[in-house]
């Protein structure tokens, strides 16, 4: 059977132009499976990691169907609602809708917290075609009477498991209760815990399930990423980080720190070494987070130090390395972290620092992914025998240790810098 290409979908001409601009030729597996079904008006249950191309998988057919059915928008409402767990991801989804729909006469709005609600309220007065929103701010504006959802044709719930992790399930249920019964619903999640299964059962009508994880392979992210653990003393981690960054050439690096304070401190250390780095976490202002993500995406910033919550919205191509300076407390966060590299089938590298204190976290991660992470002993601060040590103590929190010496970060210097180291199931549905 011939391989599917984007031209086979017969999108309207403006979308064909957008696809050509983006240089899309061959769809990813989730795009090839989802796009025809969404064009038909079917509900979708998609199981896919970040980086598999799912935004294009739903945005392109949604825009096509909107353009073919040019009904006016209703005041204070929208025809398409996309619900996203974080501000950063919401902005990136909205940017994709804008890029694909540049030649279409359609209005869109992004609604999220951390900024003034006045421009969002003003934009919604006459209604929009596409609304991308985070649950908290959307529910707030709904309760104030500035947004209502009775005219929605399509509802998209993206990264449902992240919504659950962040405590948004009650808000999501309240939002779903306000949706019209006749609609198309698209549901995407990287994993399917019981609560997510229950939510999808109440949300979807005879859905087409699309799972891009091959059977018995665990997860596509694990298969496409080279991941290694580096055993090191707690006080030597910054030395090791400097050593690794000095060796790395090309691409962007995402470094994970467990705490906001630790992320700021590590970024400052790197900046002192003349390195182009910054930190992102929940205490940074929305304007700062937007600026930092833009600079990271355009490679103006080479290294981004992030906490888990902030990193959930990072959807940036070209991240060559993910470095776990701190191992995550929750084992499943390891998958979400390393999934920021190796996107869309590309190869990526994930390196994790493990100390004697964080050995229990490593064991929990290996149990979660059902495989042992290979150790990289080829570095100056390797701790012999630590890999075989029995787990007898709990992991220590925080990220203490001295700053690295004035070692070089090759190719990463700033100009002039010195080198350095549910609702009930529906019985009716919208006709397609």
More confident residue, 400 or 53: 53
Q: Residue 109 has what pLDDT?
A: 96
Decide if pLDDT at 219 tops 50: no
- Within 10 angstroms of residue 183's Cβ, the number of other Cβ atoms is 21
Alpha carbon 201 to chain centroid distance?
24
More confident residue, 408 or 213: 213
Decide if pLDDT at 213 tops 50: yes
Tell which residue, 361, 340, 363, 365, has the closest CA to residue 350. 340
The 374-375 sheet, strands edge to edge = 277-280, 303-306, 252-256, 319-324, 348-354, 225-231, 374-375
Q: For residues 313-330, give the mean pLDDT.
A: 84
The band of 222, judged by pLDDT with boundaries at 50, 70 and 90, is low
Q: For residues 346-355, give the mean pLDDT.
A: 88
Q: Residue 230 has what pLDDT?
A: 96
Q: For residues 147-168, give the mean pLDDT.
A: 90
The band of 221, judged by pLDDT with boundaries at 50, 70 and 90, is low
Calpha distance 231→430 (Å, rounded): 56
pTM for this one? 0.62
Q: For residues 224-243, give the mean pLDDT.
A: 91
The band of 424, judged by pLDDT with boundaries at 50, 70 and 90, is very low
pLDDT digits (tens, 9 = 90+) for 235-272: 999 999 989 988 876 678 999 999 999 999 999 999 88
Q: For residues 185-208, give the mean pLDDT.
A: 89
Q: Residue 161 has what pLDDT?
A: 85
Q: For residues 114-120, give the mean pLDDT.
A: 91
Q: Residue 220 has what pLDDT?
A: 47
Q: Residue 67 has what pLDDT?
A: 93
The band of 420, judged by pLDDT with boundaries at 50, 70 and 90, is very low
Domains defined for the chain, CATH in brackets:
6-211 (3.40.50.300), 220-388 (3.40.50.300)
Calpha distance 173→9 (Å, rounded): 34
Share of the chain above pLDDT 90, in %: 51
80: which strand partners? 130, 154
Q: Residue 344 has what pLDDT?
A: 54
Q: Residue 337 has what pLDDT?
A: 84
Decide if pLDDT at 166 tops 90: no
Calpha distance 252→366 (Å, rounded): 26
The band of 381, judged by pLDDT with boundaries at 50, 70 and 90, is very high
The band of 77, judged by pLDDT with boundaries at 50, 70 and 90, is very high
Decide if pLDDT at 178 tops 80: yes
Calpha distance 73→304 (Å, rounded): 40
Q: For residues 68-95, give the mean pLDDT.
A: 91
- Within 10 angstroms of residue 406's Cβ, the number of other Cβ atoms is 13
Decide if pLDDT at 30 tops 60: yes
Residue 304 to residues 141, 256, 271, 319, Cα–Cα distance (Å): 33, 8, 11, 10
Calpha distance 124→75 (Å, rounded): 7
Q: For residues 351-374, give the mean pLDDT.
A: 91
Q: Residue 13 in contact with residue 402, Cβ under 8 Å?
A: no
The band of 418, judged by pLDDT with boundaries at 50, 70 and 90, is very low
Please tell me the chain's helix, strand, coil percentages from 3-state DSSP, rounded to the nearest 5.
Answer: 40, 15, 45
Q: Residue 413 has what pLDDT?
A: 38
More confident residue, 403 or 48: 48
Decide if pLDDT at 84 tops 70: yes
Q: Residue 273 in contact with residue 242, Cβ under 8 Å?
A: yes
Mean pLDDT score of the chain, rounded to an integer? 83
- The helix or strand, by DSSP H or E, that contains position 143, with its residue range, turns out to be helix 135-143
Assigned token pair, 375: 């150790």
Question: What are residue 331's phi and psi, to 5 degrees?
Answer: -55, -40
């Amino acid at each position: 059977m011939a391989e599917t290409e984007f031209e086979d979908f017969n999108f309207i001409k403006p979308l064909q132009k957008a696809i050509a601009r983006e240089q899309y030729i061959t769809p990813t597996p989730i795009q090839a499976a989802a796009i025809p079904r969404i064009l038909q008006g079917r509900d979708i249950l998609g199981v896919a990691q970040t980086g598999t191309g799912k935004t294009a998988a739903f945005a392109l057919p949604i825009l096509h169907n909107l353009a073919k059915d040019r009904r006016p928008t209703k005041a204070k409402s929208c025809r398409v609602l996309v619900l996203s767990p974080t501000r950063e991801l919401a902005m990136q989804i909205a940017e994709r809708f804008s890029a694909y729909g540049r030649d279409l006469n359609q209005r869109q709005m992004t609604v999220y917290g951390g900024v003034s609600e006045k421009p969002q309220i003003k934009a919604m007065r006459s209604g929009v075609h596409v609304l991308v929103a985070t649950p908290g701010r959307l529910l707030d504006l709904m309760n104030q009477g500035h947004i209502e959802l009775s005219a929605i044709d399509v509802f998209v719930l993206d990264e449902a498991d992240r919504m659950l992790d962040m405590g948004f399930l009650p808000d999501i249920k309240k939002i779903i209760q306000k949706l019209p019964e006749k609609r198309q619903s698209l549901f995407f999640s990287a994993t399917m815990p019981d609560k997510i299964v229950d939510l999808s059962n109440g949300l979807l009508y005879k859905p087409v399930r699309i799972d891009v994880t091959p059977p018995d392979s665990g997860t596509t992210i694990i298969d496409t990423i080279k991941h290694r653990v580096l055993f090191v003393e707690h006080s030597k981690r910054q030395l090791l980080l400097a050593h690794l960054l000095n060796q790395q050439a090309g691409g962007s690096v995402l470094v994970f720190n467990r705490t906001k304070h630790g992320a700021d401190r590590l970024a400052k250390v790197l900046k002192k070494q003349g390195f182009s780095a910054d930190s992102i976490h929940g205490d940074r202002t929305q304007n700062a987070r937007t600026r930092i993500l833009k600079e990271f995406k355009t490679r103006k910033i080479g290294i981004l130090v992030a906490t888990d919550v902030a990193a959930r919205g990072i959807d940036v191509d070209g991240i060559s390395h993910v470095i776990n300076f701190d191992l995550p407390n929750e084992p499943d966060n390891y998958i979400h972290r390393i999934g920021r590299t190796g996107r869309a089938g590309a190869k990526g590298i994930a390196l994790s620092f493990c100390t004697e204190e964080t050995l229990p976290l490593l064991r929990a991660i290996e149990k979660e992914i059902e495989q042992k992470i290979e150790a990289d002993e080829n570095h100056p601060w390797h701790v012999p025998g630590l890999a075989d040590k029995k787990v007898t103590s709990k992991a220590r929190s925080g990220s203490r240790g001295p700053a690295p010496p004035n070692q070089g970060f090759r190719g990463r210097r700033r100009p002039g810098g010195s080198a350095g180291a549910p609702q009930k199931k529906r019985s009716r549905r919208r006709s397609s």
